[in-house]
Chain A
């Protein structure tokens, strides 16, 4: 199989198992808390149901509300082409595509928050306001991680940073790379609205961040938003596994299978964290974000020695 076909297969596979990764997290949580819980493929069924449900649109909304789910899903799909799922190279590579990755996710967030503010409801406004607060510092954390991997590998594209260049440095820079990996995992939890920043299973609107901003979406729009959230978890999980388990020396098929296993492991890790800790209070969220950025900063400082 030639390289391009393999990478297309990797992207398609990752997009396919994205809902299952979130399902693995839920399954792990149920197992650890002694409940039966929904099956791992529950999100697939939810998406199918929502795509065939009718939609209700608020009278005060304009095109911005209708464009928000489209742009959210399209931007994570484009971002998926930049991530090396098989640990070696992504489908699209160009210099500086790490910044393009962060920027295109930002475009999705921009449209999402505008869609939330379009409803004219204070719940969605609160969700949008908290979402941009968390996103500001998560982006800082993410770029600190990219800066650290750039110092290590000398590359500016995601495939260079998380693909092949990290393996030789694991022998000499273990503490910094572990800190970078932990920081990236903490940023993933924040970006994907997981405990300890946002509880996806809560029913109290005043404690929500991401969930409350989608209150008015229904039908296929809501399906697009849920799928986009699942894909985002998969993308960031693939980057975490790229730091903590570099697979560039493995043959292509094994690297691909390793990628899938790594995603399941990330899902399980998310489930373990969600069972072990509770959601922190909203005023403490900036401290959590600063802490995750500090991990990456210390890792970067060690590498700049």
Chain B
């Protein structure tokens, strides 16, 4: 009975989100419409989060089943602890971003498009929740496709610009490639199962080693594209930069996490994966992390930069997934639990701080009218609330204490170094720890660049000099996410405990109580460490205030070695700040420079898109042009083709007919 009630509550939450979309389309008066949409979004998120929270705190998993006569069998939806974590993230972060979107679209010039946009956002949120809670193949694929199409429509909001259209088309083609691979995977898998629910897929198993390799290969391809693992990441930066800011937040924070959910669900359903899966995920994750943050450092458009950071963090999450898989493959359950736990916690944390950063970037874009770092500056004075939220997001994404990014990177580090005393090949994963440190150092360089160039110093353009703080409708969801980041950082023990219990699903019951207990104790120590850090900072601040009270304090122009006539153009630019590191990596960073006698211009290109994918695409088009002569446009040629195909089929049938008895 209780399970049924919880399922009803979950559906009620989803229904409220759908109602929000309907209200956006139906209600005419814009003020009433905006307020109604916001109320329905917040209420729907809160209501849908309750059963997810219940499952996570020890309740029974939910399940609901609708018999269906359509091909594909019954539609099953359910929430086990893994789904519950993802539903909680989707619903709460998605609700905050959608509420931001209501205020954001109100201020833009295309306000006649905002009803359709809000409806599409509602559809996107509902499809996200259904993707992570679907327990049958058809429901999963329907929700997956709905999510892809809703994202495409939202990316194309500003479709009058050519680069937005290009980004949308690239996104559409790539996401359907991933969907095709999913079709192949499910087709292979459902051959051996009785019906098309996930429970039957788990019971059917994956068959032979080659069958398992094909299944897992398709899953890695499809979900890797969706998540944005290098080299399948090239659709991410154009799409996330072209979309409106709240849509970029939802896509970076939530939609790419469905790829991570898919990878984890496949491992849960298919059983312990072979060793190549773990090593592939670990190495691909490490490469994504390093290349993603390097390419982010080369960008000077805030949203493209944040999109590349999503690639980096997906890489870190996949390193955790790989470590977890290696733990199960090499029979080291503690490493498996910590690896999967770190991946799951980093998924939650990344959803929080990446959405926060995108929303803050949206506020900056709304206030200054530009996304380019080289035109910003001095915004800390003019937009203090946005600066505070962005600073919290920046400290969180670099993985510094006392915020939440540190907790998940600490857990991953614990797992990587915990593999060190092993005697088999899993020891080599200890090399991931220095790589994580280099990635963290590059992330620190990138975010000091963004925060310093955009918010500190003096304004570099008129737009930045005239910026005004955005309203409470935009700041409230942003600061809610910031508080959530701080809460997970400061209460690490309470956040890590349920995550590690979910991670225990991957190794089976009972094998992990000791290591989970010690990791939770470590997380409590991290909480105490964060509290001590804040306390010492406060103490030193008080000390400084006491010293300053006794001396003369004056204001003056910037000293800078007595160089007079400082202008805003003499500040360090974003390209200059990133230059030493970019030069070390040479061609790998993809920065193209043009030097004239009095002119310097640098631009960043995506190596995979510009050097691999687009040339390959043009090669396919040339090949297709060679086949062009087949299409003459004349009816009798086509009739000839039909007759030739019929004759060939008849000949095959005759030759293969069983002997007449």
Contacts and interface: CB of A to CB of B under 8 A. Distances in A.
Contacts of A130: 580
B133 to A, nearest CB: 33
A129 interface: yes
A96 B568 contact: no
B420 A107 contact: no
Interface string A87-130: 00000101111111011101101100110111111111110111
A51 B406 CA distance: 34
Contacts of B409: 99, 103
Contacts of A154: 420-421
**Could you tell me the dominant secondary structure of chain B's interface residues?**
helix
B548 A106 contact: no
Contacts of A51: 547
B518 interface: yes
Interface string B439-467: 01110110110011100111000000000
B316 to A, nearest CB: 13
B572 interface: yes
Nearest to A64: B456
A224 B578 CA distance: 28
A96 B561 contact: no
B554 interface: yes
B444 to A, nearest CB: 6
A60 B581 CA distance: 27
A133 B445 contact: yes
Interface string B417-453: 1101100000110110111111011101101100111
B303 to A, nearest CB: 21
Given A96-B417, A121-B558, A110 B448 contact: yes
B194 interface: no
Contacts of A138: 441
Contacts of B417: 96, 98, 146-147, 150, 156
A5 interface: no
Contacts of A62: 380-381, 456
Contacts of A109: 444
Interface stretch (B82-90, B240-248, B528-536): B528-536
A93 B291 CA distance: 34
A143 B433 contact: yes
Interface in B388-425: 394-395, 398-401, 406, 409-411, 413-414, 417-418, 420-421
B537 interface: yes
A155 to B, nearest CB: 9
Given A94-B522, A117-B457, A99 B441 contact: no
Given A55-B548, A74-B537, A219-B548, A99 B413 contact: yes
Given A69-B544, A104-B401, A117-B453, A286 B584 contact: yes
Given A100-B526, A126-B572, A137-B441, A107 B395 contact: yes
Nearest to A71: B537
A140 interface: yes
A103 B444 contact: no
Contacts of B399: 103, 106
Contact of A119 (B560, B568, B577): B560
A106 B580 contact: no
Contacts of B533: 74-75, 78, 104, 107
Interface in A43-84: 51-64, 67, 69-71, 73-75, 77-78, 81
B456 A122 contact: no
A144 interface: yes
Contacts of A137: 438, 441
Tell me which of A143, A156, A293 has the highest count of chain B C-beta atoms within 10 A of its own C-beta: A143
B433 A133 contact: no
B1 interface: no
Interface in B520-558: 521-522, 525-526, 529, 532-533, 536-537, 539-541, 544, 547-548, 550-558
Contacts of A215: 559-561
B380 A100 contact: no
A192 interface: no
A54 B552 contact: yes
Tell me which of A67, A98, A140, A304 has the highest count of chain B C-beta atoms within 10 A of its own C-beta: A140
Contact of A59 (B428, B548, B556, B560): B556
B26 interface: no
A150 B420 contact: yes
A35 to B, nearest CB: 26
Contacts of A107: 395, 400-401, 533
Contacts of A205: 561
Contact of B398 (A57, A110, A304): A110
A4 interface: no
B640 interface: no
A117 B433 contact: no
A137 B583 CA distance: 14
B410 A103 contact: yes
Tell me which of B452, B556, B570 has the highest count of chain A C-beta atoms within 10 A of its own C-beta: B452
Contacts of A104: 400-401, 533
A59 B457 CA distance: 10
A81 to B, nearest CB: 8
Given A107-B401, A117-B453, A120-B558, A143 B434 contact: yes
A151 interface: yes
A136 interface: yes
A216 B418 CA distance: 44
A280 B436 CA distance: 28
A221 interface: yes
A179 to B, nearest CB: 15
Contacts of A143: 433-434, 436-437
Contacts of A58: 555-559
Interface string A158-198: 00000000000000000000000000000000000000000
A137 B581 CA distance: 10
B566 interface: yes
Nearest to A124: B560
Contacts of B571: 120-122, 125
Contacts of B560: 119, 121-124, 215-216
B413 A135 contact: no
Given A69-B544, A147-B420, A74 B536 contact: yes
A77 B558 contact: no
A118 B452 contact: yes
A132 interface: yes
B576 interface: yes
B579 interface: yes
A252 interface: no
B441 A156 contact: no
Interface string A206-242: 0000000001100111011000000000000000000
Given A99-B410, A215-B561, A219-B551, 19 more contacts: A55-B548, A55-B551, A56-B556, A59-B556, A67-B541, A74-B539, A95-B519, A103-B400, A104-B401, A110-B394, A110-B448, A120-B571, A124-B560, A133-B580, A140-B434, A143-B433, A150-B421, A151-B427, A154-B420
11 contacts: A60-B457, A103-B399, A124-B572, A128-B572, A136-B445, A139-B440, A147-B431, A147-B434, A156-B414, A300-B431, A304-B430
Interface of B: 377-378, 380-381, 394-395, 398-401, 406, 409-411, 413-414, 417-418, 420-421, 427-428, 430-431, 433-438, 440-442, 444-445, 447-448, 451-453, 456-458, 518-519, 521-522, 525-526, 529, 532-533, 536-537, 539-541, 544, 547-548, 550-561, 563, 566, 568, 570-572, 576-581, 583-584
